[in-house]
Amino acid sequence: MLKVKAVVAAVLVTVSLGSIATPAYASDEASLPKRTVTKHTGDGVVVTETLDYAKSRYANIRAKAAADCPVGYLCMWEDAHAGGQAVMWNDVKGNHENDFTNVMSPGQPYGPNRWGVLSMDFNDQMSSWMNRTSRTWYWYFGANGTWERHQMGWSGDRWINVLDNENDHASSVYSWLGQIS
């Protein structure tokens, strides 16, 4: 019985602390732009909509920016810090995209990218990524795996911002055929 009371007390404390902190966070979240998440499942494409948490004023809300990148997926974002529109590929052996001009925006344009171009496709847009698959992936400056190659190893739940000279350059992506041992 004592134990039950302690649990109830703990829950009440949590709720009251939460309610103190909530109004500012809630209004910040309400002001965030929406973004689309385009998920390439291997069986097709699933598009959902979430908030662009990377644009929040609060660090603990920005920390949610990659929450929609599931285990088993390679995720890329239009902006740094897992911001902007998101594109994801699942961990199917040999999964790839030869040409990001085929990765269409389902509604709103991407960009502007480093050349100031608004675009309905993902070409030359990627600024951050996260690899939650069991494979190593590579992205390329050019379509069909050409020009500069950049490796993406397992990154856990941490997003990686690409370097300035790599920003808005990605045009294709491939998963390595073998598993990371």
- Name the site residues for Ca ion (rule: CB under 5 A): 78, 125, 127, 168
* Type and span of the H or E element at 62: helix 59-62
Is residue 173 within 8 A of residue 90, CB to CB? The reply is no
If one counts every other C-beta atom within 10 angstroms of the C-beta of residue 19, the result is 9
Min separation Cβ 149 and Ca ion, Å: 19
Min separation Cβ 160 and Ca ion, Å: 14
Give, as one character, the DSSP assignment of residue 54: G
Instruction: Decide whether 108 or 179 has the Cβ nearer to Ca ion.
Output: 108
Residue of minimal Cβ distance to Ca ion? 127
Instruction: Decide whether 36 or 125 has the Cβ nearer to Ca ion.
Output: 125
Min separation Cβ 34 and Ca ion, Å: 18
Instruction: Decide whether 78 or 97 has the Cβ nearer to Ca ion.
Output: 78
Min separation Cβ 137 and Ca ion, Å: 18
Burial class (CB in 10 A: 0-12, 13-18, 19+), 73: buried
Instruction: Decide whether 78 or 91 has the Cβ nearer to Ca ion.
Output: 78
For tokens 């999964």, name the residue: 95
